[in-house]
């Protein structure tokens, strides 16, 4: 505590009796920092030079361009107005009564010939000159009065159009101008009639195929040709039907041959060869999966009916045995909607009415076909030429 009291006393004595030297220069510096003297802004020499140049240019322009003389302008306006008044009077009446067609201007000319002519005109037309002078004085007074309001009098006189000889106000007044106002319902505007695509397409086709009995392992070249008609339900959906005459030629093992007959072979044949004439009536639904202005791709599925026109079967035996060789029947077997159709059609458009197409297809039996009750299937490609029918405008 004693040591702390000594420290307090030491600070008290030091602050109570400070021994600090006084320097006037430091106070002056402090006062200058607290209150700095504002510095004068020096204008750059560049701006002074630019201002002097602009002033010199203005002075030169003022000395070169002289103000226009108002008296000269007024005299030009008076002279032009006087000439136009004189010309208008000559055009309306042909000639002034009692006045010469040539205006006499009493201006002194240094040419001797001109002076003689002017002197002669003055002597012979004193009374006329007096009347002209009076008219000119009157026109000049009117021009002076209107000069302040119309500073472009000369331009108005020169470009004033003369409408009296071009437009007859009487004709415009007598014309009957009438406006017809529609009363009632407005007439309905019919939409433009555009050409519509035909909804009916006629196709002539040829369809080679490979025909065989399922599980026989063999197939034979067959084929047909016919006519089909397609009706477009929408742009993508359509239905097809028609009729084609086809040859169904196939070979099969006798075990796959199951005729509805009570006849029993003494020795069973080893092989059966069939040659059938068939009417194929398809009913397919088509859907376009891709199409542009020239090409299209469609998938189709449906059912076909086989009408068996003629069936001829030939039997083959092993060994030297000679049993029944042939058997033929006509128009006894019809299979309605007994074959399933699956196909993909690729169509190319030649013009607006004609196109060609190729259609790979498969015909899968849903029932036994023909006298032998065989599972008869076909795979082939139908090539057709298509024509648009009943095109509407």
Do residues 207 and 246 touch, judged by C-beta distance below 8 A? Answer: yes
CA angle (315, 319, 325) in 5-degree steps: 20
Range from 20-29, 53-62, 144-153, 213-222 that averages highest in pLDDT: 213-222
Instruction: Give the residue with greater pLDDT, 212 vs 145.
Output: 212
- Domains with residue ranges and CATH for the chain: 200-389 (2.40.160.20)
- Whether residue 241 has pLDDT greater than 90: yes
* Residue 189: φ, ψ to 5°: -80, 125
Q: Residues 267-270: contacts with CB within 8 Å, 24+ apart? A: 267/317, 267/321, 267/323, 269/315, 269/316, 269/317, 269/323, 270/316, 270/317, 270/318
Burial bucket for residue 286 (CB in 10 Å: 0-12, 13-18, 19+): buried
pLDDT of residue 93: 47
176 pLDDT more than 90: no
Contacts of residues 190-195 at CB distance under 8 Å and 24 or more positions apart, as own/partner, are 193/393, 195/391, 195/392, 195/393
pLDDT at 333: 93
Average pLDDT, the chain: 75
Question: HSE (CB half, 13 Å, CA atoms) of 2?
Answer: 0
Mean pLDDT within 315-319: 89
Residues 6+ apart with CB under 8 A from 50: none
Say which range, 124-128, 236-240, 254-258, 369-373, has the weakest mean pLDDT.
124-128
DSSP state of 254: G
CA distance 348 to 354: 9
> What is the per-residue pLDDT for 170?
46
Asked if 318 and 270 count as a contact pair (C-beta separation under 8 A), the reply is yes
7: pLDDT confidence band, cut at 50, 70 and 90? confident
* Cα dist from 239 to 208, 247, 260, 296, 356, whole Å: 22, 25, 36, 16, 18
C-alpha–C-alpha distance, residues 82 and 291, integer Å:
87
pLDDT above 90 covers what percent of the chain? 41
pLDDT of residue 157: 45
Instruction: Please give the average per-residue pLDDT across 355-376, as a whole number.
Output: 95
Res 370 pLDDT > 90: yes
| Rounded average pLDDT over 124-145 | 58
What size, in residues, is the chain? Answer: 393
Question: DSSP secondary structure string, 30-42?
Answer: HHHHHSPPPPPPP
Residue 308 has pLDDT above 80, yes or no: yes
Whether residue 281 is predicted with pLDDT greater than 80 in this model: the reply is: yes
Strands 334-349 and 295-316: antiparallel
Cα separations in angstroms, 332 against 258, 307, 314, 376: 16, 9, 18, 17
Q: Is the pLDDT of residue 103 over 70?
A: no
Least confident residue range of 112-126, 192-206, 231-245:
112-126
pLDDT band at 109 (very low <50, low <70, confident <90, very high): very low
What whole-number distance in Å separates Cα of residue 7 and Cα of residue 84? 120
pLDDT tens-digit readout, 25-69 = 777 777 777 777 666 555 566 667 777 777 777 777 666 655 555
For residues 280 and 225, give the distance between their C-alpha atoms in angstroms, rounded to a whole number. Answer: 10
* Across 312-327, average pLDDT: 88
Task: Please tell me which residue, 379 or 167, carries the higher pLDDT value.
Answer: 379
Q: What is the pLDDT of residue 58?
A: 74
d(C-alpha 388, C-alpha 268), whole Å = 54
């Amino acid at each position: 505590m004693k040591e702390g009291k000594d420290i307090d006393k030491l600070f008290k004595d030091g602050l109570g009796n400070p021994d600090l030297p006084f320097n006037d220069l430091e106070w002056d510096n402090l006062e200058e920092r607290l209150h700095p003297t504002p510095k004068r802004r020096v204008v750059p020499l560049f701006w002074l030079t630019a201002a002097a140049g602009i002033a010199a240019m203005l002075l030169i322009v003022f000395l070169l361009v002289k103000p226009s003389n108002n008296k000269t302008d007024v005299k030009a306006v008076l002279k032009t107005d006087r000439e136009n008044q004189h010309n208008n009077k000559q055009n309306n009446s042909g000639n002034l009564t009692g006045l010469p067609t040539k205006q006499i201007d009493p201006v002194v000319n240094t040419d001797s010939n001109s002076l003689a002519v002017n002197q002669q005109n003055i002597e012979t037309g004193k009374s006329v000159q007096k009347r002209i002078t009076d008219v000119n004085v009157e026109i000049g007074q009117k021009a002076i009065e209107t000069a302040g309001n119309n500073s472009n009098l000369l331009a108005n006189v020169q470009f004033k159009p003369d409408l009296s000889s071009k437009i007859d106000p009487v004709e415009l007044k007598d014309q009957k101008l009438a406006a017809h106002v529609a009363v009632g319902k407005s007439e309905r505007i019919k939409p433009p009639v555009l050409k519509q695509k035909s909804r009916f397409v006629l196709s002539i086709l040829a369809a080679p195929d490979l025909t065989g009995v399922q599980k026989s392992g063999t197939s034979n070249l067959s084929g047909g040709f016919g006519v089909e008609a397609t009706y477009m339900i929408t742009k993508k959906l359509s239905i097809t039907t028609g009729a084609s005459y086809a040859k169904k030629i196939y070979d099969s093992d006798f075990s796959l041959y199951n005729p509805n007959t009570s006849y029993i072979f003494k020795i069973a044949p080893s092989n059966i060869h069939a040659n059938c004439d068939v009417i194929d009536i398809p009913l397919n639904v088509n859907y376009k999966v891709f199409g542009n202005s020239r090409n299209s791709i469609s998938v189709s599925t449906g059912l076909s009916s086989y009408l068996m026109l003629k069936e001829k079967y030939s039997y083959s035996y092993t060994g030297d045995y000679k049993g029944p060789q042939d058997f033929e029947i006509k128009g006894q077997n019809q299979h309605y909607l007994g074959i399933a159709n699956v196909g993909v059609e690729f169509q190319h458009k030649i013009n607006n009415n004609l196109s060609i197409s190729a259609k790979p297809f498969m015909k899968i039996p849903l029932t036994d076909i023909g006298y032998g009750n065989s599972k008869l299937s076909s795979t082939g490609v139908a090539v057709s030429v298509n024509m648009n029918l009943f095109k509407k405008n």
